Amino acid sequence: MSNMNDAAGLRAPYGRSHSQYQTEFEPATGTIWGYFNPRGTACFSLGLLKDIREHDQTLAQNHGAIEFEGELRPVNFYVCGSRAPRIFNLGGDLALFVLLIKSRDREALVHYARLCIDNMHARIENYNAPGMITISMVQGDALGGGLECALSSDVVVAEEGAQMGLPEILFNLFPGMGAYSLLARKVGPRLTERLMLSGRVYSAAELHEMGVVDVLAGPGEGEAAVQDWIARHARRRNGHAAVMRVRRQVFPVTREELDAITDTWVDCALRLEDRDLRMMGRVVRAQMERMERGTVVDVGAAAEAAEAAPALAAL
């Protein structure tokens, strides 16, 4: 644990420094700042999922408190962001999916899905802390499981330059780690299915107009927007958190519901054909191009164009 003083506005790192999920605590506001810090592709690898779980499981066991400077401190706000440039999270580990589907390893697919749900449901339930408010700070692309993760927070803050979407339908699959449950409760089933079945990648501004994004920040202003939101709501946090809790009581997202959906996801994944897996590979390559060189504007469109290229060349 850190020995930093509790000066206003200062954050102290805590937890394992070599973790793929890095955390800081801001004592003045009681805010955890958690950052994905993935090795390799900015997706939910098994390593990243396990590191998130290690941190969040302890938080839930302490009913929303962390051990800091020798004592348990209650957490008022928990912000989730990313240290990957221009990327919040690209979602599921598609390269791993291809391997597991080709080898027909149902057990490993179920294990991956359950680990995702362990993380998702804990956040949906605010880590057993009735007074905590969770915030997703999306400063870059949030695709597939990345968007699902963002939606698991009470409040979604996104920068205008971020791309967000559910491209899984492009390779004949669907986002099975909470997208339908969370979106349907936020914007209704009709719009949810349109977002899932289109495969489109949307701008944060478009999703703000639809009601998916709660706060739209300017480019590079995501953290300032989160800090401003916390400052404006700190005095009424207790009431605000209670309303969020009532929302979960009226529209509960149960663990049983999420587990049943992941079973459907595993069944669907194991029915994918070779052409679907090739398309999944094209999406992976488009993601890498966007990460490494920034030359890809729309990952889904780039993957579809790559699929069409051989047919056009044969004409």
Dump pLDDT digits (tens) for 178-198.
Answer: 999 999 999 999 999 999 999
Label residue 268 by pLDDT band (50, 70, 90).
Answer: very high
- Topology of domain 12-272, per CATH? 2-enoyl-CoA Hydratase; Chain A, domain 1 (3.90.226)
Percentage with pLDDT > 70 across the chain: 94
Decide which of 141 and 5 is more confident.
141
Measured distance CA(55)–CA(16) in Å, rounded: 9
Quick one: average pLDDT of 64-84? 94
Quick one: average pLDDT of 48-74? 94
Q: What is the pTM of this model?
A: 0.92
Return all residues near 15 (Cβ < 8 A) that are at least 6 apart.
Answer: 21, 22, 23, 55
Encoded tokens for 263:
């079973």
Return all residues near 99 (Cβ < 8 A) that are at least 6 apart.
Answer: none
Phi, psi of 249 (to 5 degrees): -75, -40
Decide which of 308 and 216 is more confident.
216
Give the chain's mean pLDDT.
91
Q: Residue 296 has what pLDDT? A: 61
Q: Residue 247 has what pLDDT? A: 94
- The distance from CA 112 to its chain's CA centroid, rounded to whole angstroms, is 15
Decide which of 110 and 286 is more confident.
110
Quick one: average pLDDT of 108-128? 97
